């Protein structure tokens, strides 16, 4: 998969994309990430990318031409058949794990980062396929959201996480929060690792993990349970959890 980011601040991406799993994924060719600066697509002496809003008001608006040309050059240089052009914007559809999984199915994503008061609306109307928000709050620009989307999408691509199982056990992957993890030492500060995890009984461990995953979801995000298909065992475990939580 190729991810193209259009941003006035390309240097912001160097750190987050240059480390750990995202770096490895790029080094091994599983993903490639390119940042394009719309300022490189201005033809005037002062390389102007923004202007005052028609109708008046505070702030500046990103001009349509440099963005249009940046998108055009990226599209023309690619032979991807299956591409999505996404505007990062607080008014977009709220990003979640399902969206990450969906976007991971494209050959190419073009993530457009707005700045200042936003982007000339004609880009959203005529160029962009959809707008995505990373949550109901307003950031100073679309760069951090583009990094969030890049990270969440990249780790859905087979091979990026190394062990195939890792993504499947994530919080949200199966609609539930994750069960707790423990490692050595067995006892730390007097705090013990749950005995069952040391038992070597894989069936029991599996059941415990499912139960703790259900418990975490029931306590912290009960809204998620409404959208999960629960098995008869899950219902049984939930009943146990409810009685345990009630102190029964």
Is position 246 an interface residue for ligand ADE (rule: CB under 6 A)? no
- Cα-based torsion angle of the residue sequence 48, 85, 91, 222 in order, rounded to the nearest 10 degrees: -150
In whole angstroms, the minimum distance from the beta carbon of 121 to ligand ADE comes to 15
Please tell me the distance from the alpha carbon of residue 180 to that of residue 64, in angstroms, as a whole number: 48
Is position 139 an interface residue for ligand ADE (rule: CB under 6 A)? yes
Q: Judged by CB under 6 A, which of 41, 145, 153, 155 binds ligand ADE?
A: 145
In whole angstroms, the minimum distance from the beta carbon of 71 to ligand ADE comes to 17
Residue range at the interface with ligand ADE (CB under 6 A); choices 39-47, 76-84, 127-135, 238-246: 127-135
Q: Is 170 a catalytic residue?
A: yes
Distance of CA 211 to the CA centre of its chain: 27
Is position 134 an interface residue for ligand ADE (rule: CB under 6 A)? yes
Burial class (CB in 10 A: 0-12, 13-18, 19+), 83: middle
| 143, 113 contact by CB (below 8 A) | yes
Handedness of CA 203, 209, 211, 214 (dihedral sign): negative
The nearer residue to ligand ADE, 109 or 176, going by C-beta atoms, is 109
Binding mask 88-107 for ligand ADE (x = CB under 6 A): xxx-----------------
Q: Judged by CB under 6 A, which of 133, 150, 213, 217 binds ligand ADE?
A: 133
Residue range at the interface with ligand ADE (CB under 6 A); choices 1-9, 128-136, 150-158, 160-168: 128-136
Please tell me the distance from the alpha carbon of residue 237 to that of residue 131, in angstroms, as a whole number: 39
**In 54-201, where does DSSP find H-type helix?**
64-76, 97-103, 121-126, 143-154, 165-168
180 preceded by cis ω (within 30°)? no
Is position 118 an interface residue for ligand ADE (rule: CB under 6 A)? no
Q: Which of 181, 87, 164 is nearest to 125 (CA)?
A: 87
Is position 142 an interface residue for ligand ADE (rule: CB under 6 A)? yes
In the complex, which residues of this chain contact ligand ADE (CB under 6 A)? 88-90, 114, 133-135, 137-139, 142, 145
- Residue numbers annotated as active site: 90, 117, 155, 170
């Amino acid at each position: 998969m190729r991810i193209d980011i259009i941003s006035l601040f390309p240097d912001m991406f160097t750190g987050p994309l240059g480390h750990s799993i995202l770096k490895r994924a790029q080094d091994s060719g599983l993903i490639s990430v390119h940042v394009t600066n719309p300022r490189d697509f201005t033809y005037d002496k002062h390389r102007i990318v923004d202007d005052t809003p028609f109708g008046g008001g505070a702030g500046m608006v990103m001009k349509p031409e440099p963005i249009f040309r940046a998108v055009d050059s990226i599209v023309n240089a690619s032979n991807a058949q299956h591409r999505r052009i996404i505007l990062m914007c607080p008014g977009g559809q709220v990003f979640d794990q399902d969206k990450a999984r969906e976007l991971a199915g494209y050959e190419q994503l073009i993530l457009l980062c707005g700045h200042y008061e936003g982007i000339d609306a004609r880009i959203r109307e005529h160029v962009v396929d959809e707008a995505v928000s990373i949550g109901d709050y307003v950031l100073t620009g679309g760069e951090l959201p583009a990094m969030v989307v890049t990270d969440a999408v990249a780790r859905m691509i087979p091979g990026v996480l190394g062990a195939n199982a890792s993504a499947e056990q994530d919080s949200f992957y199966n609609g539930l929060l994750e069960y707790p993890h423990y490692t050595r030492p067995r006892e730390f500060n007097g705090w013990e690792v749950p005995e069952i995890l040391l038992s070597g009984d894989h069936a029991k461990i599996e059941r415990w993990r499912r139960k703790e995953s259900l418990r975490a979801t029931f306590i912290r995000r009960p809204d998620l349970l409404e959208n999960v298909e629960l098995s008869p065992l899950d219902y049984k475990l939930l009943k146990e959890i409810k009685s345990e939580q009630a102190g029964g």
